[in-house]
Amino acid sequence: MPELRFDPLKKTWVIISTERAKRPHDFSLISEEKKEEGECPFCPGNEDKTPPEIFAIREEGSKPNEPGWSIRVIPNKYPALKLEGKIEREGIGLYDRMSGVGAHEVIIESPEHGKSLADLPLEQIVKVLTVYKLRLKSLRADERFRYVLIFRNYRSIAGASLSHPHSQIIATPVTPKVLKEELSIAREHFSRKERCIFCDILRDEMRFGDRIVKIHKNYVLFTPFASCFPFECRLYPLRHSYDFAEIPDEELPELALALKDMLLRIKLALNDPPYNFVIHTAPSLHPRPGKPDYWGTIKEDFHWHIELVPRLTIMAGFEWGTGFYINPTPPEEAAKYLREVDNAVEGMLR
């Protein structure tokens, strides 16, 4: 029997369509990949084919914009927003317009072209997470930016133009709608109940247990009750923490382990599908004119987390016209399939 499920965090209804229920192998055709042409600009030796690096982790003695790096951060060659300029706003009738100021960076996660993030050794993933933190803090220091989003597109169907392992960071002069709604809902929940909505969700998931995929010492991986997409996953810190940038460096190895575990499960259970993941964290906390307490309780009400969506289905007219999503794989079944690769994942994490 199909079900409608409501997500209190996103304020959306989802149709869990059990009549269309799909198993992992039913999605295999959607993960087909386009072939790349030409030389990869992210590979060592091709540093002159990218904009000059902003930051890099390098071997001792190696020079900027030359080989010898383990991670590079570069400006996106075709940025969504431009770093230079002032923010100017104006009204045009009922509409509003502002200058397209922001930052758009690419984090090249490894010199090895043929490896995905799931394939990288844990010590390399720790470096990636370290760079995430550093760039997040650096971009937040710019008072023009209200939000900094870290995200990863894997395979062309998910929006990646190159297969070389990389993530992206975009800083925007406004808080994006999805994040603003999530932040506002978290604040409203705390205002009513004096509890973090994310911590409440975690307590329920741990109590029910059927959507839990893996519990680490300080992190938990689960499939959301009202998953919009098949095999959608969320990775939460078990301890309340509002800001990804505040993770102590000594705790990054465990987060690297939890992230690799999640990516390996998706890769093994679903035949290495396209996916997107995003890090939802606190916004920039610079004071805003007329809004001195805009995010006044954020340290108590928000809980950073990672959301991952395998690109196994395509949005169609119903979703576009209604805002409903149709998910053909119940999250309880998705969690079960992701747990079934436990032994294989454990072997690859050793």
What pLDDT digit, counting tens, does each position of 130-154 carry? 999 999 999 999 999 999 999 999 9
Number of Cβ atoms within 10 Å of the Cβ of 131: 24
Query: What band does 29 get if pLDDT is binned at 50, 70 and 90?
Result: very low
Domain total of the chain: 1
* Residue 31 pLDDT greater than 60, yes or no: no
Q: Determine the Cα–Cα distance for residues 79 and 183; give it in Å rounded to an integer.
A: 26
Which token pair is 137? 């803090």
Counting residues of the chain whose pLDDT is more than 70, the rounded percentage is 94
Residue 125 lies in a domain: yes
Residue 307 lies in a domain: yes
Catalytic residues: 166
Residue 46 lies in a domain: no
CATH of the domain at 285: 3.30.428.10
Radius of gyration of the chain (CA): 21
Strand, coil or helix: 163: coil
Query: 46-51, long-range: CB within 8 Å, 24+ apart, which pairs?
Result: 47/72, 50/74, 50/77, 51/75, 51/76, 51/77
* Residue 349 pLDDT greater than 90, yes or no: no
* Residue 12 pLDDT greater than 60, yes or no: yes
Residue 42 lies in a domain: no
Q: Determine the Cα–Cα distance for residues 325 and 203; give it in Å rounded to an integer.
A: 25
What does the pLDDT look like over 64-118, one tens digit per residue?
Answer: 999 999 999 999 999 989 898 888 888 998 899 888 999 999 999 999 998 999 9
What residues contact 281, with CB distance under 8 A and at least 6 apart?
136, 148, 150, 242, 243, 244, 245, 304
Q: Determine the Cα–Cα distance for residues 338 and 350; give it in Å rounded to an integer.
A: 19
Residue 43 lies in a domain: no
What does the pLDDT look like over 157-170, one tens digit per residue?
Answer: 999 989 999 999 99
Residue 88 lies in a domain: no
* Residue 296 pLDDT greater than 60, yes or no: yes
Q: Which structural domain, as residue segments, surrounds residue 136?
A: 3-33+52-79+97-349
Residue 47 lies in a domain: no
Residue 139 lies in a domain: yes
Strand, coil or helix: 222: strand
